Amino acid sequence: MLKPIDDFFQKHNIKVYGHCSLSNSDKEKILLSRDIVNLLNSAIVFGIPLSGSVIMNLEDGPDLLYLHHYRQANYLLDRISFGLATIVEDCGYMAVPIPASQIVDWKNQRAYVSHKHFALLSGLGWFGRNNLIVNSVYRSRLRFATVLTSIRFETEPKILGFHCGSCRKCIEMCPAGAITETPEGFNHIACFEKIKELTRQKNISQYICGMCIKACEKWE
């Protein structure tokens, strides 16, 4: 990583960050102008952990405390990615800060990029059964943001393989029954439908749940 970027992350107390190259397949999935995408070479990904205590306070779904905390985390991620993009551009490179949480294709439930995908490619964790990135320190509590850039980094990170072992707590706790033995078997539709139901019942104005994050926090 370039020193100005490392210094920036240290200044903002960001402990989890990395980068990865963009393959042609990755570029095809980015929902930005092709004129921009063709000039991009890498993704810089960073994460901040949600409060373990806020997560543990959840009982049977999202609550107002988690809603506020979730929104503040996204706000912080967006502020940091905005500043990071400025640093990268000051170094003479292109930089596109991607919002931490913004759906641009509701039919297919897609954002401009998948932060989780690039976090995986950046070696920040592995895909757990709960369809979230599992980090060895923060488990599934990390929220991510991405800055796409024209920088070509000299090194490539090691991609981590599945490492949940015999833990199946997220399967047991999921209110939608959406989690299976493998990450590939995760039922996105069942998850989203249950989230819509829970947020409507609890008058939570954002599609969030948090129960599989709570389960993962007990991971051993």
The yes-or-no verdict on residue 106 having pLDDT over 90 is no
CA dist 167 to 60, 121, 173, 215, Å? Answer: 20, 23, 12, 10
Tally the residues of the chain: 220
Q: Categorize the per-residue pLDDT at 103 as very low, low, confident or very high, splitting at 50, 70 and 90.
A: confident
Considering only CA atoms, which of 106, 130, 96 is closest in space to residue 116? 130
Kindly report, residue by residue over 31-49, the tens digit of the pLDDT.
999 999 999 999 999 999 9
pTM: 0.93
Are the C-beta atoms of residues 35 and 63 closer than 8 Å to each other? no
Both tokens assigned to 174: 């999921």
Mean pLDDT of the chain: 94
Are the C-beta atoms of residues 141 and 50 closer than 8 Å to each other? yes
Phi, psi of 49 (to 5 degrees): -85, 135
Beta bridge partners of 97: 147
Radius of gyration of the chain (CA): 17
DSSP line for 109-136: TB-SS-HHHHHHHTTS-EE-TTSSEEBT
DSSP line for 177-214: ----SSGGG--HHHHHHHHHHHHHHTT-SS----HHHH
* Per-residue confidence (pLDDT) for residue 220, from 0 to 100: 47
Query: What is the pLDDT averaged over residues 190-209?
Result: 94
Both tokens assigned to 43: 């993704």
